[in-house]
Amino acid sequence: MATFVLVHGGGHGGWCYQPLVGVLREAGHEVYAPTLTGLGERSHLLGPHVDLGLHIEDIAAVLRYEDLRDVVLVGHSYGGMVITGAADRAAERVGKLVYLDAATPAGGQSLVDIAGPIMNEARKHGKVVDGIELVLLPSPGAGAFYGPADPDVVAWMDERLTAHPWPCFEQPLELTDEDALRAIPQYHVVCTSTLATRDPELVAGARKAGRLWDIDTGHDLMITEPRAVADALLEIAAAQVPGWTVCSK
């Protein structure tokens, strides 16, 4: 049995993993899908203190207080920033890192550094509320921006998406033990459409090592293709050595 900790991206919450959690639990695995402070059902905790550092501590605290070991730590989109920081803080608890169509930062980088044009465009449509700059503002049909086309799925998402504090995206990632972090095997499950926008060296290295999956769907692949994502995660959890065959869905 594997233990998965699934970290969501910007504007989302642990709710976005419901379809994937069901598949993984049916297969007999332990799954946690925490919501980051200030988002989803924790949006009432929004304040000027919410930033990348706090979100990293959110996940490090889950690993620590649940006493989790050999975790498959998965991050979607902005969640890639968070899992990198959490693994840096608690490397002894993380067995594998999985970047789910996610940012793959180096120390000192922010999400704006990695995806500047997209993030700066989002900022143009944000607003300041009670002194907090918010982006990814919910609006009717906003769920479709993340890839789903089914009207029922979009409506389900629209009821749950929340605004996201801009400081999370602007704050650089601080690493404390890069050697321990880089010793953790890293895997990449990405959307086919985003492959061309990713670091060619990273993609080539992951593909050569058998640590790259691409799924032909929208950005919120855990919602639109939960079975394909689960298949990839189960293969990753079962992998014992590098160099196994790449799987493309």
> For the domain that residue 81 is a member of, what is the CATH number?
3.40.50.1820
Is 249 among the domain residues? Answer: no
Q: Is 45 exposed, middle or buried (0-12, 13-18, 19+ CB in 10 A)?
A: middle
Q: Flag whether pLDDT at 243 surpasses 70.
A: no
Find the Cα–Cα–Cα–Cα dihedral 95, 19, 84, 51, rounded to 10°: -140
How many domains does the structure of the chain reveal?
1
Instruction: Compute the distance between CA of residue 79 and CA of residue 75 in angstroms, rounded to an integer.
Output: 4
Per-residue buried b or exposed e for 189-214, using 16+ beta carbons within 10 Å of the residue's own CB: bbbeeeeeebeeeebeebbebbbbbb
Is 243 among the domain residues? Answer: no
> Containing H/E element for 212?
strand 212-215
Q: Is 16 exposed, middle or buried (0-12, 13-18, 19+ CB in 10 A)?
A: buried
Catalytic residue status for 139: no
Is 135 among the domain residues? Answer: yes
Is 247 among the domain residues? Answer: no
User: What pLDDT was estimated at residue 20?
Assistant: 98
Distances, alpha carbon 121 to alpha carbons 73, 102, 115, 135, 210, in Å: 29, 18, 10, 10, 34
Q: Flag whether pLDDT at 150 surpasses 50.
A: yes
- In this prediction, residues 95-104 reach a mean pLDDT of 97
Is 80 among the domain residues? Answer: yes
Share of the chain above pLDDT 70, in %: 96
Catalytic residue among 43, 77, 139, 193: 77
Instruction: Compute the distance between CA of residue 146 and CA of residue 151 in angstroms, rounded to an integer.
Output: 13
Bridge pairing between strands 212-215 and 30-32: unpaired
pLDDT tens-digit series, residues 69-92: 999 999 999 999 999 999 999 999
Q: Which domain holds residue 77?
A: 3-238
Q: Is 50 exposed, middle or buried (0-12, 13-18, 19+ CB in 10 A)?
A: buried
Distances, alpha carbon 93 to alpha carbons 40, 41, 104, 154, 215, in Å: 26, 26, 20, 35, 28
52 and 78 Cβ atoms separated by less than 8 Å: no
Both tokens of 103, joined, read 């940012």
Is 192 among the domain residues? Answer: yes
Beta bridge partners, 135, equal: 164
Distances, alpha carbon 136 to alpha carbons 11, 126, 127, 158, in Å: 6, 7, 10, 12
User: What pLDDT was estimated at residue 240?
Assistant: 79
Q: Flag whether pLDDT at 48 surpasses 60.
A: yes
134 and 124 Cβ atoms separated by less than 8 Å: no
Is 244 among the domain residues? Answer: no
Residue 31 DSSP label: E
Is 246 among the domain residues? Answer: no
Mean pLDDT of all residues in the chain?
A: 94
Q: Flag whether pLDDT at 225 surpasses 70.
A: yes
User: What pLDDT was estimated at residue 71?
Assistant: 98
User: What pLDDT was estimated at residue 246?
Assistant: 35
pLDDT tens-digit series, residues 188-203: 999 998 888 888 999 9
User: What pLDDT was estimated at residue 196?
Assistant: 87
User: What pLDDT was estimated at residue 197?
Assistant: 86
pLDDT tens-digit series, residues 155-186: 999 999 999 999 999 999 999 999 999 999 99
- Of 160 and 243, more confident: 160
- In this prediction, residues 97-105 reach a mean pLDDT of 97
